[in-house]
Structure 1
Amino acid sequence: MIQNLSKTLLLFFLILSGVHLSAQEKTIDEWELPRTARDFISHNFPNQKITQALRKEEEGKKEFETVLDNQVKIEFDNLGYWKKVQSNGTVLPTEFIPKKIMEYLMENHKKEKINKIEKELHTYEVELTNGADFEFNLKGRFLKKKD
């Protein structure tokens, strides 16, 4: 029984090591970000500087992540299109957020600000400063409030 437990633990650690080795994260210079990502930042966060830029590769898939000097974290896909924008207490700009989403939020939650927005394959997920989470389709139509 101890021998089986030892083998199980060894296999577990090997799997963890493999997962760790397959995901790579590298600090890069700002100019190494895709042009689309740099343009997004300069247009939507013109007064902010990039304090950290990372290139992440996992299972052959490349993504980028930046942290701005106001602590806003932005994740980009391999082409530099935003996937997730997350505030750290800072009010996010809303110009890049689909108009229908902003209309819904202004009509139903005008006192709250957006804390995080994430673009998924078929939806947008929005978290407000009060912790409320909402899901919208890609056209900006409200789908549901998440628990």
Structure 2
Amino acid sequence: MKKFLLFFVCAATAFGVSAAPQKVEFGKLPNNSQEFIQKNFPREKIKSVEMDREASWDKYTVYFNSGSQVSFEGGSGDWSEILMKNGEVPATAIPANIRTYTGNAYRGQQVKMIKTTKDGYELKLANGTMISFDKDGNFVKASK
């Protein structure tokens, strides 16, 4: 029984160590992730890039000196979340339907966060309003 317990503790420790995010070079990101950063965040200075192995996929997160960050799915290289500490999510990074809706319904409010969900998109405005959209970018609901 002691051997089994010792084996279990060692295995759990090894798994925990291997599951920790690892620093990687910007060039290790999928090409479309690199292009997304260069297009939408040309003035941001990259502080670090981390790869996190989650279950059966990899996730990359790019951290900027400003405190903002962008996460990407490792397989596809598509963005999954954009968090802005200062400023707002670049308009060019927001799907057109969502950009149009928020610009009209919440004029003057900065988009501070946008992420993909299994049902579509969710974003947070500077005033704390959370807005959900379906996969086509159509408004679903808003809450504060």
Is 2:53 the counterpart of 1:57? Answer: yes
C-alpha displacement of 1:92: 2.0
Deviation of 1:122 after TM superposition, in Å, equals: 2.1
- In structure 2, the residue matched to 1:47 is 43
Residue number in structure 2 paired with 1:93: 90
1:71 aligns with 2:67: yes
| 1:132 paired residue number | 129
- Contact 1:77-1:83 within 8 A present in 2 as well: yes
Pairwise mapping of residues 105-144 of structure 1 onto structure 2 (< 5 A)? 105-144=102-141
Deviations 1:44-69 (A, max 9, x none): 01112211100110223211001122
In structure 1, what is the Cα distance between the partners aligned to 2:87 and 2:55? 33
Does the Cα contact within 8 Å between 1:72 and 1:90 map onto a contact in 2?
A: no
Using structure 1 for the length normalisation, give the TM-score. 0.82
* Structure 1 gap ranges (5+): 1-9
**In the alignment, which residue of structure 2 is the partner of 1:82?**
79
Paired with 2:143 and 2:42, the residues of 1 have a C-alpha distance of 32
CA deviations over 1:58-99 (Å, ceiling 9, x no partner): 223211001122222000001321000000022221112111
In angstroms, what is the RMSD of aligned CA positions? 2.1
The secondary structure found in structure 1 opposite 2:67 is coil
Deviation string for 1:106-137 (max 9, x for gaps)?
11111210000001122100100111101001
- In the aligned structure 2, how far is the partner of 1:67 from the partner of 1:18? 26
How many angstroms apart in 2 are the aligned matches of 1:110 and 1:46? 25
Instruction: Structure 2: give runs of 5+ residues left out of the alignment.
Output: none
- Does the aligned pair in 2 maintain the 1:22–1:58 contact within 8 Å? no
Q: Distance in 2 between matches of 1:121 and 1:22?
A: 27
**Percent identity over paired residues:** 23
Could you tell me how far apart the structure 1 residues matched to 2:100 and 2:89 are? 16
**Equivalents in 2 of 1:17, 1:144: separation in Å?**
42
